[in-house]
């Protein structure tokens, strides 16, 4: 499969993740009387990954996340030489998905970007007012565990055909934990999309949602082969 096709798949998949996941938060989470709440948003993020894993997994591997690509590269499951085009496509997809969501959301009377637009934040911009340090730890640990799930579920020794389910449910679980802390990122592309439209504080705090997921993913890429057995896990 050519790089252009794989990059296109990553762009489409990441735009779906941001539109579906952040869209559920912006459009449906607090809808009067019928809002889906944290549980619904968490499930929406999991479903975006699950559906795209089956739709484009055979094309690009369905990373949809710079941290996932990095973690797989560190774990020797993905060529490091292909990181940049994958990350560029993922970030572009995140911005595209957020752009579509913004176009729809601004059609509602009273819509205000100051409400957050599902952007990730810490301190005063954390849903639960968690400190930057707490948010950093949460994002590192949750990204680490997400990559451990991905690396384990896609191990050649794991039951075949079930990886998308495990990964989708894993993303749902970590959202249930992390939404109150940071709105949950574990994905720099997901964070970048909404931040571009919110601007201001969201862009100022975006560094944490690049640094923490990349660190957590790289750590998982190192740890998983040590736990699983380097040769057998590839």
Cα gap 58→185, rounded to integer Å: 25
Sequence spans of domains, the chain: 3-233
Say what the pLDDT of residue 194 is. Answer: 97
Enumerate residues 6+ apart whose C-beta is below 8 A from 170: 46, 145, 146, 149, 150, 153
**Which residue from 142, 146, 135, 141 is spatially nearest to 208, judged by alpha carbons?**
135
For 23-42, write each residue's pLDDT tens digit: 999 999 878 778 899 999 99
Over its length of 234 residues, how does the chain's per-residue pLDDT go in tens digits? 899 999 999 999 999 999 999 999 999 987 877 889 999 999 999 999 999 999 999 999 999 999 999 999 999 999 999 999 999 999 999 999 999 999 999 999 888 898 889 999 999 999 999 999 999 999 999 999 999 999 999 999 988 889 999 999 999 999 999 999 999 999 999 999 999 999 999 999 999 999 999 999 999 999 999 999 865 555
71-105 pLDDT, tens digit per residue, is 999 999 999 999 999 999 999 999 999 999 999 99
Cβ neighbours for 88, distance < 8 A, ≥ 6 positions apart: 7
Q: Give me the CATH code for the 3-233 domain, please.
A: 1.20.1080.10
């Amino acid at each position: 499969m050519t790089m252009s096709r794989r990059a296109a798949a990553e762009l489409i998949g990441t735009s779906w993740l941001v539109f579906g996941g952040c869209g559920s938060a912006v459009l449906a989470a607090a809808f009067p009387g019928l809002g889906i709440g944290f549980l619904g948003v968490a499930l929406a993020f999991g479903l975006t990954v699950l559906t795209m894993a089956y739709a484009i997994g055979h094309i690009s591997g369905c990373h949809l996340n710079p941290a996932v690509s990095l973690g797989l590269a560190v774990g020797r499951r993905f060529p490091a030489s292909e990181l940049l085009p994958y990350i560029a496509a993922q970030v572009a997809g995140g911005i595209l998905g957020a752009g579509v969501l913004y176009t729809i959301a601004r059609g509602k009377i009273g819509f205000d970007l100051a409400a957050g637009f599902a952007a990730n934040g810490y301190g005063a911009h954390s849903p639960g007012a968690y400190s930057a340090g707490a948010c950093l730890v949460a994002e590192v640990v949750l990204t680490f565990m997400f990559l451990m799930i991905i690396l384990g579920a896609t191990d050649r020794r794991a039951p075949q055909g079930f990886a998308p389910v495990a990964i989708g449910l894993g993303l749902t679980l970590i959202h249930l934990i992390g939404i109150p802390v940071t709105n949950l990122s574990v994905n720099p592309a997901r964070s970048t999309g909404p931040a571009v439209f919110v601007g201001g504080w969201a862009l100022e705090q975006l560094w944490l949602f690049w640094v923490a997921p990349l660190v957590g993913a790289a750590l998982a890429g190192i740890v998983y082969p040590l736990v699983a057995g380097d040769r057998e896990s590839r």
